Amino acid sequence: MNQLTKIALTWELYEEDIPKTHIAERLGVHRETVRTWISGISSNTLGLTGFIEEYQKAKKGQRKKRKLDGLTKVRIWNLREENKDCCGQKIQEYLFRDFGLYLSVKTIYKVLGEKYKLRSKWKKNVKRGPVPKASKPREVVQMDTVDFGYVFAFCGIDIFAKDVTVKLYPSLTSIDGLDFLNVSMNQRFKHTDLLQVDGGSEFKGEFRRNVFRYTDRFRVARPYKKNEQSYIESFNRSLRKECLGWSMYTQREIPYLQKEVDEYMEYYHTKRAHLGLNRKTPNDILKEYQVTDI
């Protein structure tokens, strides 16, 4: 029995007030299929005949797959390269903002996969520390350092607004830590309810003797619990991936590298969409909360 015959019998049995479930059992089709046929016939102005004609037309040949035009693909690739190899969600935002185009993240990653080798997600099943939380700017600030050989990047981030400060040093001492504390607090953060660091030597000695000038509480994250420093660790990765890379540098390169970092900071605060900020920039959040003293 072909499908057209089943459709005709479905309508005949339905007109005889036979339940749809029984019709489906008799004809060997799914109940939802029966419901779809009956609904289609009922809504068609020509009834059964008109529905069967439309059904035959719809079944002629395979549907053509939707294809993205070359220009859209080039735009996706260019947006990734212009925005430091950013993720699909950010490309989705930039596409809509700059070109008025909306594509699903899945489609964007398919296009990226045509040109780039994308890494798969991998999660290690280990117990993690609690993720710190904040409800307003300047409530929690995290600090950490990134090793670039003979150059060390001291980084600080407000975990709510995601605004950051970065300064490069030729060494990793508590004197350097104190200088960064003074620079980051005076130029950007001013004061915070909680300042959190890891257990590095740069955050001991002179740093600890002066830290309470800028914070009400001071906390050292537990070792091997990087989730407790998740915001600054995430930024450290962005600093490597989008700015300085994984190279080792010498001390004489610091002036040039600091200039590169400052330019990246301008991009980071004013243009880079942040998924954790609903695709806004840190400066957008600071304006919303009327934080202007930076």
Percentage of residues in the chain with pLDDT exceeding 90?
A: 59
DSSP secondary structure string for all residues of 158-208:
ETTT--EEEEEESS--HHHHHHHHHHHIIIII--EEEEEE-S-GGGSTHHH
Residue 207 burial (10 A CB sphere; 0-12, 13-18, 19+): buried
Cβ atoms of residues 86 and 109 within 8 Å:
no
Please report which confidence band the pLDDT of residue 42 belongs to, taking 50, 70 and 90 as the band edges.
Answer: confident
The H or E element spanning position 95 is helix 88-99
Instruction: Examine the pLDDT at 126 and tell me if it is beyond 60.
Output: no
Query: Tens of pLDDT along 98-114?
Result: 998 899 999 999 999 99
Whether 161 is in a domain gets the answer yes
Convert the pLDDT of each residue in 236-247 to its tens digit: 999 999 999 999
Q: Region 289-294: what's the mean pLDDT?
A: 83
Greater pLDDT, 226 or 276: 276
Vertex 231, ends 226 and 235: CA angle to 5°? 105
**Helix, strand, coil proportions of the chain in percent (round to 5)?**
55, 15, 35
Is the same domain home to 220 and 157?
yes
pLDDT of res. 17: 86
The residue-averaged pLDDT of 182-195 equals 96
Most confident stretch, 78-82, 100-104, 109-113, 156-160: 156-160
Q: Is residue 50 part of a domain?
A: yes
Tell me: do 96 and 25 sit in the same domain: no
Residues 155 and 282 in one domain: yes
In a domain, 254, yes or no: yes
In a domain, 52, yes or no: yes
Whether 160 and 283 share a structural domain? yes
Higher pLDDT, 86 or 153: 153
Classify residue 198: in a domain, yes or no.
Answer: yes
Domain that holds residue 75: 70-115
Residue 105 and residue 146 in one domain: no
Looking at mean pLDDT, say which of 35-39, 122-126, 158-162 comes out highest. Answer: 158-162
Same domain membership, residue 201 and residue 110: no
pLDDT for 61 equals 61
Same domain as 221, residue 99? no
Burial class (CB in 10 A: 0-12, 13-18, 19+), 181: buried
Q: What is the mean pLDDT of residues 33-48?
A: 86
What is the pTM (predicted TM-score) of this model? 0.67
Are 161 and 216 members of one domain? yes
Report the CATH number that the domain containing residue 170 is assigned in CATH: 3.30.420.10
Q: What is the pLDDT of residues 191-231, one digit of tens each?
A: 999 999 999 999 999 999 999 999 999 999 988 777 899 99
- Tokens 């099943």: give the residue: 125
Structure tokens at 237: 């990765």
Residue 228 and residue 161 share a domain: yes
**What confidence score (pLDDT) does residue 132 get?**
82
In a domain, 164, yes or no: yes
In a domain, 42, yes or no: yes
Statement to judge: residues 109 and 174 lie in one domain: no
CA–CA dist 279, 281 (Å, integer): 7
What is the per-residue pLDDT across 137-153, written as a single tens digit (0 to 9) for each? 999 999 999 999 999 99
* 141 strand-pairing partners: 158, 195
Bridge partners, 140 (sequence order): 194
- pLDDT value of residue 173: 95
In a domain, 134, yes or no: no
Q: What is the count of structural domains for the chain?
A: 3
* Domain co-membership, 149 together with 282: yes
| 151 and 93 part of one domain | no
